[in-house]
Amino acid sequence: MKKQLFLLSFLPLLSLFADLAIVAPPKDGTATLIKEPQRKFLLMSREDRKALSFDPEKAKAMRISNRGDQPQPLTLEWSDTAPAEGKTYTVTVKRLPDGKLFFNATTDKLTVQVVNLEIARNYEWTVATKDGQATSTFKTEDLAPRLLQFANVRNARDFGGRIGMDGRRVKQSMMFRTSGLNNNAQIVYYKLDEVMQLHEEGKLEAMGDQGKKLEHQIKRGEKIDPKFIRLIKSTPSEPGKPKLNDEQRQFILDTFGIKTDIDLRSDMECYGMTGSPLGPTVKWYQWSYSSFGYSYLFTSNGYKSFKTVFTLMLDEANYPIVFHCIGGADRTGVLATVLHALLGVDENELAKDYESTWLSSTCGVVDKVHRQWFETFLGRIAKYDGANFREKAENFAIKSCGLTMDEINKFRDIMLEK
């Protein structure tokens, strides 16, 4: 009799919990975090990706519209057999096995969209009402990069996620690479017709290193791309305009926990800045001698810049870190490439990380000019001694930048999963 009474009293509780049922993703299914055009590009061979840089028609066919640098939101869906007006659902997503909370929201819909999950991870998610809940698990696809929604900041992705030396994955949520967190201070450059006028007047060569470079190009009959003219006509008078409002700034701090902002831009680009656009809780580092652009890395200032930045990355108190220039392509890409190489990421994968910047460009692939710059840069690293690209990068860091093997191994201890 007591057993029957217990069962009768338990039936209403069962019905309450039975109201909610998980629909998607299926239990223990694999969730994709990228869009199909992104996937198509990332799964191509390295040689095929290179070839796209020199074939405008094929590159055009790879175009990625609708913010190609953005991740594919994951839709969580459930059903409810007892819906009611004004009923709300609280949804949480936790990483397994440590239980770190990645998402928490309340909605009156039967779906929510989640972004900024780590790749190659197991997750548990729960949808709950005041009367009951349903829980399921899923895993995220193992395909880098982990693209991010970083408020109003473009070209944002996790530095981590790829496999490094000894099969150890580079830790996620430790370092992020992005475009500038605010706009550059306004620098006005000479236009192509103005450069040609200066040349005709015999004034160009006397206008500093950039003037000499342009003069030599003209004398050699080389075509000058207007996009890459860096002959300064007027310098800034005020700092660059902000990209982030208070709400967006707080979103970045709450979601990614940034403690250090490493700004690879020049003094002129950062004119008038005294701290990080993320606010006073974030340490901001920027140097007048900073030099990370391709061949510029192989200069005394480039070596000094790399050593300075790398030293910051040896202090665990500085993490999580965001590093960037203005576009997050060239200077940022060069730094990320050397760091990935030191962690033992293979050359195809570190190249793919560099190329992922152009998921948001007109064609979605690296153009001819940037491809040539990048391959030349890789060739400079390849000239160092070593049996593989990792060892060559080690010799670059030790012999040219003055780092030690102990420092490199400490960086690996910080950035590689056990």
How much is the pLDDT for 58? Answer: 87
The percent of residues in the chain predicted with pLDDT above 70, rounded, is: 94
Give the tokens for residue 149. 């929604």
- pTM, two decimals, is 0.90
Is 80 exceeded by the pLDDT of residue 65? no
How much is the pLDDT for 66? Answer: 60
List, for residues 176-225, the tens digit of each pLDDT value: 999 999 999 999 999 999 999 999 999 999 999 899 999 999 999 998 98
H helix or E strand, kind and range, residue 193 = helix 192-200
How much is the pLDDT for 6? Answer: 45
pLDDT, greater one: 4 or 364: 364
Q: Could you identify the residue written with the tokens 């490439």?
A: 337
Is 60 exceeded by the pLDDT of residue 84? yes
Rounded CA separation 171/415 (Å): 5
For 122, residues 6+ apart whose C-beta sits below 8 A from its C-beta are: 95, 96, 97, 137, 138, 139
List, for residues 135-179, the tens digit of each pLDDT value: 999 999 999 999 999 999 999 999 999 999 999 999 999 999 999
- List the end-to-end C-alpha distance of the chain, in Å, as a whole number: 56
Give the tokens for residue 259. 């403690």
Please, are residues 399 and 386 in contact by the beta-carbon 8 Å criterion?
Answer: no
Rounded CA separation 109/116 (Å): 21
Please, are residues 9 and 123 in contact by the beta-carbon 8 Å criterion?
Answer: no
| Virtual torsion, Cα 286, 360, 146, 409, nearest 10 deg | -40
The percent of residues in the chain predicted with pLDDT above 90, rounded, is: 85
Please, are residues 223 and 192 in contact by the beta-carbon 8 Å criterion?
Answer: no
Is 50 exceeded by the pLDDT of residue 15? no
How much is the pLDDT for 14? Answer: 39
H helix or E strand, kind and range, residue 103 = strand 101-107
Nearest alpha-carbon partner for 277 in 247, 249, 236:
249
How much is the pLDDT for 362? Answer: 59
CA distances from 54 to 57, 239, 278 (A): 9, 38, 39
Per-residue confidence band for 63, with pLDDT thresholds at 50, 70 and 90: confident
How much is the pLDDT for 363? Answer: 62
DSSP one-letter code for 162:
S
How much is the pLDDT for 68? Answer: 84
List, for residues 350-398, the tens digit of each pLDDT value: 999 999 998 876 567 888 999 999 999 999 999 999 999 999 999 999 9
Residues in the chain: 418
Give the tokens for residue 330. 């060239």
Q: Which domains does the chain have, with CATH numbers?
A: 16-33+71-142 (2.60.40.1930), 157-184+242-415 (3.90.190.10), 188-234 (no CATH)
Average of per-residue pLDDT across 119-133: 96
